[in-house]
C-alpha cells in the first residue's frame, strides 16, 4: 500500500491519466463524440471566483486543461463513465452561473461540501446516488467518498495507507475516512481494471452496470450472459475486440432474455448509434 510520502501531484500526469481513461472507454463502449478536448490555451470559461469556482489556482489550472465527458443535462444522451456515474463537465458547469453553493452541492455531496478544502475538487456531478470522487491537487490523490469496505476491498487495487486523522483537520479527516483513497494514476488504472475484468459492464454506448449489484439484486443469469458476450467478441484484448458487434449482441441478448431491462436502456442505442 503506498504512503503519501511516496505520492506527488503532477499536472501533466493527471491530465494524461484522464485522457488515457476516456480513450480506454471509447475503445470499449463510449462514442468518441462524448469526449470533448480543451483548446490549446485551455477552457477559458473556467476561472477562479469566490462566487462560483472557489478553488485554488492549481485546481483551476487543472480543470482548464482536462478533457471532459460531454454533459447536456439530457439523460437520454449523456453517458456514464462508471456504473451509474456521470463525470463532471467542468467547462459547462463553470459557465452555468449557478453559483458556488450549487457547484459544491452537485460535485462534492451536500453532507460534506463545507468541509472540502479549496485544493480538492469533485470529479462527478449528478443525483444523490451518483458516486463522489474527490481529487486533491496537494496530496495527488482521489478519494471515493462513501466507498463501502466490501467494494473498496473487492476493487483489488492498493490504496493509500495513511490515516486521514494523521494529516488532515478533524472535519476533513471525517469524510476522508469514510472513503477509499488512491494515488491519482492508481485510481484511473483501478477503474480500467474493473472494466477489463468485467466487474463494470457496459450495456449500451452510454450506460454501465456493476456486476456486484446485479448479482445481488438483479435478474439471475444476466451478468454471466453479458460477460460471455464480451469475451466472445475478444474482450479484453483490444486488438481482437469488436466494439460495435459486441454492443449489438448485448442489446439483442437483453431484448431476448431481459426485455424489461432492454426497454429501460434501448434509447441509448438509438440515440448513440
Q: Write out pLDDT tens, residues 220-231.
A: 899 999 999 999
* Averaged pLDDT score across all residues of the chain: 90
Q: What is the DSSP letter of 168?
A: S
Residues of the domain holding 238? 199-272
For residue 74, give the C-alpha cell.
439530457
Note the pLDDT of residue 75: 66
Separation of alpha carbons 161 and 7, rounded Å: 11
- For residue range 210-251, list pLDDT tens digits in order: 998 898 888 889 999 999 999 999 999 999 999 999 999 999
> In angstroms, what is the C-alpha Rg of the chain?
19
Helices and strands in the chain: count of H runs, count of E runs: 11, 8
User: Do 189 and 207 share a domain, yes or no?
Assistant: no
User: Do 143 and 95 share a domain, yes or no?
Assistant: yes
Q: To the nearest 5 percent, what fractions of the chain are helix, strand and coil?
A: 45, 10, 40
User: Do 79 and 186 share a domain, yes or no?
Assistant: yes
Conformation bin of residue 192: beta by default, left when phi > 0, alpha when psi is -120 to 50: alpha
Burial label, 231 (beta-carbon count in 10 A; 0-12, 13-18, 19+): middle
Note the pLDDT of residue 271: 43
Contact criterion met (CB below 8 Å) for 67 and 19:
yes
User: Do 110 and 33 share a domain, yes or no?
Assistant: yes
- Helices 11-28 and 57-64: crossing angle, nearest 10°? 40
User: Do 71 and 175 share a domain, yes or no?
Assistant: yes
- For residue range 25-36, list pLDDT tens digits in order: 999 999 999 999
Domain total of the chain: 2
User: Do 170 and 215 share a domain, yes or no?
Assistant: no
User: Do 90 and 140 share a domain, yes or no?
Assistant: yes
3-state secondary structure of 181: strand
Separation of alpha carbons 135 and 62, rounded Å: 11
User: Do 262 and 182 share a domain, yes or no?
Assistant: no
User: Do 170 and 217 share a domain, yes or no?
Assistant: no
User: Do 28 and 101 share a domain, yes or no?
Assistant: yes
Separation of alpha carbons 19 and 62, rounded Å: 13
Strand partners, 180: 144
Choose one of 194, 216, 239: the last residue of a domain: 194
Confidence of residue 262 (pLDDT cuts 50, 70, 90): low
What's the pTM value of the predicted model, to 2 decimals?
Answer: 0.93
User: Do 26 and 143 share a domain, yes or no?
Assistant: yes
User: Do 44 and 133 share a domain, yes or no?
Assistant: yes
Separation of alpha carbons 272 and 248, rounded Å: 12
Amino acid at each position: 500500500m503506498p504512503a503519501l510520502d511516496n505520492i506527488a501531484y503532477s499536472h501533466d500526469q493527471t491530465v494524461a491519466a484522464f485522457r488515457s481513461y476516456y480513450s480506454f472507454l471509447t475503445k470499449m463502449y463510449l462514442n468518441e463524440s462524448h469526449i470533448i478536448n480543451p483548446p490549446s490555451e485551455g477552457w477559458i470559461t473556467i476561472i477562479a471566483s469566490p462566487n462560483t469556482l472557489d478553488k485554488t489556482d492549481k485546481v483551476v489550472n487543472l480543470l482548464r486543461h482536462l478533457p471532459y465527458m460531454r454533459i447536456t443535462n439530457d439523460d437520454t444522451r449523456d453517458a456514464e463513465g462508471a456504473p451509474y456515474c456521470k463525470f463532471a463537465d467542468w467547462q459547462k458547469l463553470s459557465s452555468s452561473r449557478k453559483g458556488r453553493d450549487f457547484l459544491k452541492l452537485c460535485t462534492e455531496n451536500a453532507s460534506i461540501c463545507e468541509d472540502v478544502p479549496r485544493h480538492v475538487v469533485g470529479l462527478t456531478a449528478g443525483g444523490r446516488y451518483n458516486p463522489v470522487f474527490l481529487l486533491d491537487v496537494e496530496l495527488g490523490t482521489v478519494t471515493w467518498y462513501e466507498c463501502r469496505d466490501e467494494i473498496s476491498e473487492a476493487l483489488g487495487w492498493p490504496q493509500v495507507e495513511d490515516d486521514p486523522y494523521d494529516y488532515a483537520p478533524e472535519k476533513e479527516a471525517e469524510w476522508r475516512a469514510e472513503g477509499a483513497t488512491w494515488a491519482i494514476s492508481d485510481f484511473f488504472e483501478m477503474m480500467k481494471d474493473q472494466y477489463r475484468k468485467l466487474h463494470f459492464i457496459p450495456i449500451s454506448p452510454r450506460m454501465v452496470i456493476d456486476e456486484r449489484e446485479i448479482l445481488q439484486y438483479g435478474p439471475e443469469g444476466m451478468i454471466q450472459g453479458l460477460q460471455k458476450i464480451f469475451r466472445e467478441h475478444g474482450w479484453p484484448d483490444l486488438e481482437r475486440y469488436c466494439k460495435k458487434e459486441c454492443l449489438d449482441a448485448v442489446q439483442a441478448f437483453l431484448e431476448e432474455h431481459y426485455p424489461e431491462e432492454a426497454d429501460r436502456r434501448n434509447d441509448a442505442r438509438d440515440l448513440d448509434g
